[in-house]
Amino acid sequence: MDYQIAIFAAGCFWGIEAQFRKLKGVISTRVGYTGGNFPNPTYKDVCSHKTGHAEAVEVTFDPTIISYTDLIEIFWDIHDPTTLNRQGLDIGSQYRSAIFYLNEEQKKAAHNSRKRVEESKKYRNPIVTEIVPASEFWQAEEYHQQYLEKKRGRFSPSCNFI
């Protein structure tokens, strides 16, 4: 199979991972850190606000079932792309909204989608989502992987998804 990868950041990675995992055509997910300048960061490192990384989810998907554009549309719906470096009670650059593209086709799709959302006036405030090239994706610690499934739906009040 020719699976593809998409990488998104939209606040607490637990919630966005759970949202993407339940989609038909999503093969797997893993949460981690990307977009920064510090090799192999830990959660503690990222929370120090010194690494530049965002909490992100890497989504492996089957494009014959769900398209990259479909994933982007869902991305816009599962968080507030108008708040800079915050989602709900989570504040800091690691909670920023970002689409990390892996090729020119993804870059174009992300920009086109953002333009459609902006033109739709769905949000009163301007969209602050970064659309940037993907850099190294560092997998988060095992206890973060599929966290909400492990906790059977219990989650931090600041992780405002689900």
Which whole-number Å values give the CA distances from 99 to 3, 114, 153, in the listed order?
18, 10, 26
Q: Which of 141, 15, 158 minimizes the C-alpha distance to 74?
A: 15
Answer yes or no: are the C-beta atoms of 92 and 50 closer than 8 Å.
no
Query: Any idea which residues carry the catalytic annotation?
Result: 12
Answer yes or no: are the C-beta atoms of 16 and 78 closer than 8 Å.
yes
Answer yes or no: are the C-beta atoms of 16 and 161 closer than 8 Å.
yes
Answer yes or no: are the C-beta atoms of 100 and 65 closer than 8 Å.
no
